[in-house]
Amino acid sequence: MRIPWKWLAAAVPVSLLVACSDQSTAPKTAQVSPGARASFSSPRTVAIKDLGTLGGATSWARAINNEGWVVGQSDVVQAGATHAFLWRDGKMMDLGTLGGTSSSAIGINDEGQVVGTSEIAGDAVSHAFLWSHGRMTDLGGLGGDYAGAYAEAYDINDAGDVAGDGNRADGLFHAGLWRHGRVTDLGTLGGDYSWSNGIGNGDVVVGGAALAGDTAQLAFLWKDGVMHALGSLGGHWAGASHINGMGAVAGGSTLAGDLVEHAFLWQHGRWTDLGTLGSAYTYSYAQWINDWGQVAGGSCSPAACHAFLWSNGAMVDLGILPGGVDYSWAQAVNDLGQVVGQANTAGGQGHAVIWTTR
């Protein structure tokens, strides 16, 4: 079976990170009410802040809510271990694990509920988790009592519904929806596998799924029990990363010929190729879209990757840490225009960062 394309896409910036490195290795605030999409112009100034680590060398910010709370993963002092974190009010808090060595926080809603994946006791497998009010709960997976059922939770909406994926009892990897204590297998588009990264209002889930024979993968939108193929930008491989409250979807797709991959925006059945950060950049991928239609992600040249924010038809380079090695990647943007992701320090370690745009 072909490796799910969500990991193939994610592997590109990781390899370039190594190549560019010097080393080998909540109370609620006032609600934003988006109006016309033109209300947010492209940012004129960008400030970047290093969020630090939990004591180890590297960290990675994966999501941010509209309170400005950031979640991700960080190396800890224990060698070979990473832990999920929640960063708020200038402090990074260790969320712990499900009993195993490592964990990663991947999504957060405006209620402060966090989802992700964690190794269980013995580290034989990782399970999806929900962290709420100081407690991490094992969500289980699509495999039921199957001991090897790997599962990960990627996104959570404000109703507490969770999108993710994992192994079924037969070993196949499928997208899943956790709701009211039950998990639903979302199926595929005829192939062996599917995966999900985003959930919107009304249990609308997006991701990528294989067609029959696993010779192609298309972005999908799952709603009311049916998985709908959204298509691609002309190539055989596409995946949707996130859906906003207006039903707009962002992700990545190969173009015709499958030699080039670009970030995309899909809305009302229309595909938009978001391009790259310039002629030297041959690759781009969109990770998140907020309710204003701003898209965050990364764009790569053969030598480096830079985080971007796309807004009103313009893709803006968010830059790198001052003095840092030439690498950054954006994972999410909230409705206030705050962007989180990772950037290299001067020593080549990737650190969780937050960009403030104006």
Q: Where are the domains of the chain?
A: 43-357
In CATH terms, the superfamily for domain 43-357 is Peptidase/esterase 'gauge' domain (2.130.10.150)
Query: What letter would DSSP give residue 197?
Result: E
pLDDT for the residue 33: 32
Residue closest to 160 by CA, chosen among 142, 137, 144: 137
Residue 344 near residue 320, CB atoms below 8 Å: yes
pLDDT for the residue 41: 56
For the entire predicted model, the pTM comes to 0.89
CA atoms within 13 A on the CB side of 247: 8
Average pLDDT along the chain: 89
Q: How far apart are CA 47 and CA 94, in angstroms?
A: 25
pLDDT for the residue 169: 87
Q: In the predicted model, what is the mean pLDDT of residues 236-262?
A: 97
Q: How far apart are CA 186 and CA 164, in angstroms?
A: 10
Structure tokens at 238: 């596409």
Phi, psi of 288 (to 5 degrees): -155, 150
Sheet with 350-357, side-by-side order of all strands: 46-52, 350-357, 338-344, 328-333
> Given pLDDT bands bounded at 50, 70 and 90, which one contains residue 14?
very low
Least confident of 47-56, 75-84, 141-150: 141-150
Over pLDDT 70: what percentage of the chain?
A: 87
pLDDT at 29 over 70: no
Per-residue pLDDT tens over the stretch 150-167: 999 999 999 999 999 999
Q: How far apart are CA 251 and CA 239, in angstroms?
A: 6
pLDDT at 34 over 70: no
Question: Counting every residue, how long is the chain?
Answer: 358
